[in-house]
Amino acid sequence: MGAAGRRLFALLNVTVTLGAAWALYQLWTEQTPGWWFNLIFTVMIGGLTLALWAILRGSIRQAEHEARLQAVWRDIGPRAVATAGRVTERHCVMAEGGEVMRFELVVQAPGGAPIHGQWQPANARLYLLQPQVPGVGAEVRIWRAPNTPANAPLVIEVADPSVVH
């Protein structure tokens, strides 16, 4: 979710929270079958409201994490060196229409530990088709800056297997 989407979602959350507060006020001040009924609906309405705020918080934390990684990569990227590797595992998450919403690859460089990488589009118009996702055994290039910590960002470069070179 982008910055504008997060702002709109926050506005929606405020609206939902106000609506939930009004509903809970009505629930506890009006005639109902009993306290147990009020408690059930309080937990349900409160839980749904909290879930929306948790989704927003998760989106903000993910955006902050990605921004930190991009800032570090801007600093170390010019020194990055490519190493050849191969895809050892592939996992795709599909949309209802059969498009690939995101995929994860596990790649192996000779003499190195397995590296997990993922691709997720910035927006829904960038979905891939399944033949466009590299399969097990595909060649990759792993771009990593020398003398950086193991948790430093790196780039896994893969080619679209549906394109003839």
Task: Assess contact for 93 and 100: CB atoms under 8 A.
Answer: yes
pLDDT exceeds cutoff 90 at 97: no
Q: What is the pLDDT of residue 152?
A: 83
CA-CA distance, 33 to 45, in Å (whole number)?
17
Q: What is the pLDDT of residue 164?
A: 61
Q: What is the pLDDT of residue 112?
A: 81
- pLDDT tens digit sequence for 103-153: 899 999 888 888 898 888 776 667 788 888 888 988 999 998 888 887 788
CA-CA distance, 112 to 56, in Å (whole number)?
37
How far does CA 116 lie from the centroid of its chain? 14
pTM value is: 0.67
| Residue 49: band (very low, low, confident or very high) from pLDDT cuts 50, 70, 90 | very high
| Residue 165: band (very low, low, confident or very high) from pLDDT cuts 50, 70, 90 | low
Burial of 61 (0-12, 13-18, 19+ CB in 10 A): exposed
Token pair listed for 72: 């570090």
Average pLDDT, the chain: 88
Q: What is the pLDDT of residue 4?
A: 86
- pLDDT tens digit sequence for 25-45: 999 999 989 999 999 999 999
pLDDT exceeds cutoff 80 at 21: yes
Task: Assess contact for 159 and 138: CB atoms under 8 A.
Answer: yes
Mean pLDDT in residue range 86-104: 88
